[in-house]
A and B are shown apart, each in its own frame.
Chain A
């Protein structure tokens, strides 16, 4: 399993940026994917999640990014995307993509429960 993030960089507040995660070594379409970020000198913060196609490819987002960030995948290219709009200085972080494993369902809604493989991360700096 290999996950490689790309697309990070310096961006001004209010602008947009899309980062990518290219996967290899597993059947990408069979897995959910997630994005986790780490601000400088801080801990881990979950950002967003996309279910596999088998579970509807629906998404979930942290409250801090909901309405501004969106996740999508291109199963044919084995790529997951994190589109970040209206960026704020507090979005400055290293962004990691991860493969999500396990399934837990509550009623009709299912979630992966853990992240078993992570990329090396891509750094996003939001500053004027």
Chain B
């Protein structure tokens, strides 16, 4: 199974400041079809996960443009350009190159200072 490793595991950010989360996979997520199967989810406190980013860098419907994804191969990054109070929660990366299973990172908890 592909192992997804996120860093840091927790992050405390001042509102209006940027934040960055790293996700590394144990194998390349680039498929022969040219797509890279890396996704980002946010789970706000007490809520179910919600999709933020698909295929590395495409924002899902309704996701603010302060969220951006980048990376290739085995190294990926989720960036929040200016953190807002509603961005608090746990962020997970997920791979879909070698299935099953779909595997998630351990999660990165983001809180506001």
Contacts and interface: CB of A to CB of B under 8 A. Distances in A.
A44 B92 contact: yes
B101 A46 contact: yes
B50 interface: yes
Given A44-B49, A61-B100, A63-B101, A102 B54 contact: yes
A49 interface: yes
Contact of A114 (B43, B90, B96, B103): B96
Interface in B52-103: 54, 60, 90, 92, 94, 96, 99-103
Interface residues of B, number: 27
Contacts of B51: 114-117
A40 interface: no
Interface residues of A, number: 24
A43 interface: yes
A49 B103 CA distance: 13
A100 to B, nearest CB: 9
Nearest to B46: A120
Interface in A26-52: 34, 36, 43-46, 49
Contact of B100 (A43, A62, A104): A62
B7 interface: no
Nearest to B104: A44
Most buried by A among B43, B48, B94, B104: B48
B54 A111 contact: no
A96 interface: yes
Given A104-B37, A113-B37, A118 B49 contact: yes
Closest 10 CB pairs of A and B: A113-B96, A118-B48, A46-B102, A60-B100, A44-B104, A111-B99, A43-B107, A114-B39, A46-B101, A116-B51
Interface of B: 31, 33, 35, 37, 39, 41, 43, 47-51, 54, 60, 90, 92, 94, 96, 99-107
